Structure 1
Amino acid sequence: MPDSTVTPLVSLLRRLAIALGALVATALIVYFGRDGYIDNNAEGSPISLLDAFYYSTVSVSTTGYGDIVPVSDTARLWTTIVVTPLRLIFLITFVGTTVELLTERSRQSFRIERWRSRLRDHTIVVGYGTKGRAAVETLLGDDKSPDDIVVVDTDRAQLDAASALGLVTITGNATRSSVLRIAGVAQASALIVATNRDDTAVLVTLTARELAPKLRIVAAVRESENVHLLRQSGANSVIVSAETAGRLLGAATTSPNVVEVVEDLLTPDAGFAISEREVEDSELGGSPRHLADIVLAVVRGDGLFRVDSSKVDSLERGDRLLYVRKATPPDEDD
């Protein structure tokens, strides 16, 4: 998140213009007051414009060879009250640029290291287009803190939009391991791959799986024929965005109410939503079909079982329930 809207190139060009201005001003002062200067290497020769620029260069840069010097009182006065401040402006401009650059790099490195040391169990979203934004909205609707969401993208405009929501943003190509390391992929709890290209999604998944073997990776693809590539690359869940949208479009023509219910369930901050929770002690040994909540499925170990499966007729400690809950709008939160 940049602190200034001025680009580094513009800032550098401005400082270069100031330095050149000081150089030219000094040269013109010497040239117009050339009668008060002498060239010790060419005694008797008048100071030319080239000599004036030469003197300006060695003077403002504090090199000071001493071949061209002011000898008259007027020239020395101008050197004292005008040339010396110009010399200081020239030095401050370049030295200040170097110091500021080193300071900013050190400060940024310190901020990154401090942030990475505190970052744990966060979610990384690669791609902040339509799919990425919808994923982030769902996470925020499920009470995920903006500080626990890291957005990786190459589009500065998209990252600015994510920053406006308080999200952590990283500019870079997520197919590079260095970018994912900066995002803290080894400490993350989940990675959402929402790129616009299926081949990019495969590369991101491969890179992330290599860096974090136990990371949960959820990827979106456009074509169903690429699902197996994402699975082989290490994705835990693959969503075919085009086909999913197509199914909803087809269902909307015959059963529009079904589509409205599905959209309601997928919207975490209004109506009803699908959520997950642990089994309570009072529910152990009971059937998930007889609970007060509407249970859709039970997660046991690495398996997901529908509520009517005989394997989950009796709930055990460590089971997790996928159930329908009433969503709480943001303005009704305590």
Structure 2
Amino acid sequence: MLKQLNLSRLYLALGLLVFSFAVGVAGFMGIEHYPLVDAFYMTVITASTVGFGEVHPLSDLGRLFTSFYILFNLLVVAYLVSVLTTYIFDGELRHLFRMIRADQEIRSFHDHVIVCGFGRNGYKAYDELRHSGTRAVVVEQDQTLLNAANEASRTQIPAVFGDATSEATLRQAGIERARALITALPKDADNVFVALTARELNPNLTIIARASARSSVSKLISAGANSVVMPDEIGGSHMANLIIRPEVIKFLDMISGLDPNKLRLEELPYNELKPTLRGHSIRELDVRSRTGATIIALRRGESGDLEVSPAADYRTAAGDVLLVLGNEAQIQALHQQFK
């Protein structure tokens, strides 16, 4: 969505110009009894101060009206020129075109993720989605946050400028076509409202919400959130565990990307396996020797239970999801050989 603040000055300048022309035409027709065409002609030459002669000699009242009308138009033209100068030379026009292109791009998105709020949590969520190859749309009111991110990444982030709690804003972000939404707004009440609105617009949506207070968790779940994350509690627990069990936390940091030796935890659904590999046992798949990655867990399709370190003789079935851990190169090999 195009940010209204960016266009408000341009709309105001054009509105003043139209108002000025309407006043001029009405004044010349009412005071001097000019026909419409003559009144419009006098309005144009007066507003533009080109100095052409009058259609008919003006009365004293007509001269007085014209004098004030010229002064008024000097202010209108000066304001219009300043706005156009800002749009052309300060990059506003270029930014406007970028937003139009982004808006058109978002309209073509399907099965994407919407990230509401582009603060620290929202930015991290978007960055992870982008690196995983998932399409994401950001909803944010503060344009400076997105401008800084665009400059840092040297890419144009697909974004909707507006209030994430507004139904119209979520629709412009493609809420009906999205598969998931992450709401990371600073206020818990806003996150509750976003979850409630998003669930109403798309009943099949997966909603992940941020919460600051523990009392907000139940409200977010009731509003339609599938999962609730409390960054402050996670951070405090993480710092304590660095003392209690540092090696475990270092390993988790490798998975989360906080460690230079980054690992990836990848899902390998049954329906994405090559047809020739479906129904094979974990031993027969031999993921470890073929790619270097390791199957660490299995989500059973029938029961939905999560089984850690599944038995090697277990044969994959429809609905199953294998959880595989490996570095970037190993995960790429997994995609090439098994998907």
Q: TM-score, normalised by structure 1?
A: 0.64
Higher strand share: 1
The alignment of Structure 1 onto Structure 2 pairs a total of residues equal to 265
Aligned to 1:44: none
Aligned to 2:228: 238
- Report the CA distance shift for 1:202/1:275 in structure 2 as closer, same or farther (over 3 A): same
Q: 5 Å matches for 1:296-311?
A: 296-298=297-299, 300=301, 303-307=304-308
- 1:231 & 1:216 partners in 2: Cα distance? 12
SS of match in other structure, 2:169: helix
Are positions 1:226 and 2:216 aligned together?
Answer: yes
Aligned to 2:318: 317
- 2:133 & 2:44 partners in 1: Cα distance? 63
8 Å CA contact 1:299, 1:322 repeated in 2: no
Structure 2: gaps of 5 or more residues: 21-31, 33-41, 60-69, 88-93, 289-293, 331-339
Q: Which amino acid aligns with 1:161?
A: A
Q: Which has the larger radius of gyration?
A: 1
SS of match in other structure, 2:322: strand
Aligned to 2:254: 264
1:214-261 alpha-carbon deviations (Å, 9 max, x no partner)? 011111212233222211111122212121112111101222222221
**Once the 2 structures are TM-superposed, how far is the Cα of residue 298 of structure 1 from its aligned partner?**
1.6
Are positions 1:211 and 2:201 aligned together?
Answer: yes
Aligned pair partner of 2:145 in 145, 155, 158: 158
Aligned to 1:274: 265
- Report the CA distance shift for 1:245/1:233 in structure 2 as closer, same or farther (over 3 A): same
8 Å CA contact 2:297, 2:310 repeated in 1: no
Aligned pair partner of 1:131 in 101, 116, 121: 121
**Once the 2 structures are TM-superposed, how far is the Cα of residue 170 of structure 1 from its aligned partner?**
1.0
Are positions 1:284 and 2:279 aligned together?
Answer: yes
- Report the CA distance shift for 1:258/1:286 in structure 2 as closer, same or farther (over 3 A): same
Aligned pair partner of 1:248 in 233, 238, 241: 238
8 Å CA contact 2:266, 2:325 repeated in 1: yes
Aligned to 2:37: none
**Once the 2 structures are TM-superposed, how far is the Cα of residue 14 of structure 1 from its aligned partner?**
12
SS of match in other structure, 2:139: strand
Aligned to 2:46: 60
Q: 5 Å matches for 1:137-176?
A: 137-144=127-134, 148-164=135-151, 165=153, 166-176=156-166
- 1:64 & 1:319 partners in 2: Cα distance? 85
SS of match in other structure, 2:176: helix
8 Å CA contact 2:195, 2:220 repeated in 1: yes
Aligned to 1:47: none
Structure 1: gaps of 5 or more residues: 21-40, 42-55, 70-82, 330-334
- 2:286 & 2:216 partners in 1: Cα distance? 40
**Once the 2 structures are TM-superposed, how far is the Cα of residue 272 of structure 1 from its aligned partner?**
1.1
- Report the CA distance shift for 1:108/1:132 in structure 2 as closer, same or farther (over 3 A): closer
Runs of 4+ in 1 over 6 A off after TM superposition: 10-17, 107-110
Q: Which amino acid aligns with 1:208?
A: A
- 1:58 & 1:169 partners in 2: Cα distance? 41
8 Å CA contact 2:301, 2:318 repeated in 1: no
**Once the 2 structures are TM-superposed, how far is the Cα of residue 123 of structure 1 from its aligned partner?**
1.2
- Report the CA distance shift for 1:58/1:125 in structure 2 as closer, same or farther (over 3 A): closer
**Once the 2 structures are TM-superposed, how far is the Cα of residue 196 of structure 1 from its aligned partner?**
1.2
8 Å CA contact 2:180, 2:206 repeated in 1: yes
Q: Which amino acid aligns with 1:316?
A: A
Aligned pair partner of 1:183 in 166, 169, 173: 173
- Report the CA distance shift for 1:302/1:208 in structure 2 as closer, same or farther (over 3 A): farther
- Report the CA distance shift for 1:151/1:304 in structure 2 as closer, same or farther (over 3 A): farther
Identity %: 25
8 Å CA contact 1:202, 1:230 repeated in 2: yes
**Once the 2 structures are TM-superposed, how far is the Cα of residue 125 of structure 1 from its aligned partner?**
0.5
8 Å CA contact 2:199, 2:205 repeated in 1: yes
- Report the CA distance shift for 1:116/1:273 in structure 2 as closer, same or farther (over 3 A): closer
Q: TM-score, normalised by structure 2?
A: 0.63
- Report the CA distance shift for 1:259/1:211 in structure 2 as closer, same or farther (over 3 A): same
- Report the CA distance shift for 1:109/1:275 in structure 2 as closer, same or farther (over 3 A): closer
Aligned to 1:51: none
- Report the CA distance shift for 1:65/1:237 in structure 2 as closer, same or farther (over 3 A): same
8 Å CA contact 2:264, 2:326 repeated in 1: yes
Q: Greater shift after overlay, 288-297 or 210-219?
A: 288-297
8 Å CA contact 2:298, 2:320 repeated in 1: no
8 Å CA contact 1:151, 1:162 repeated in 2: no
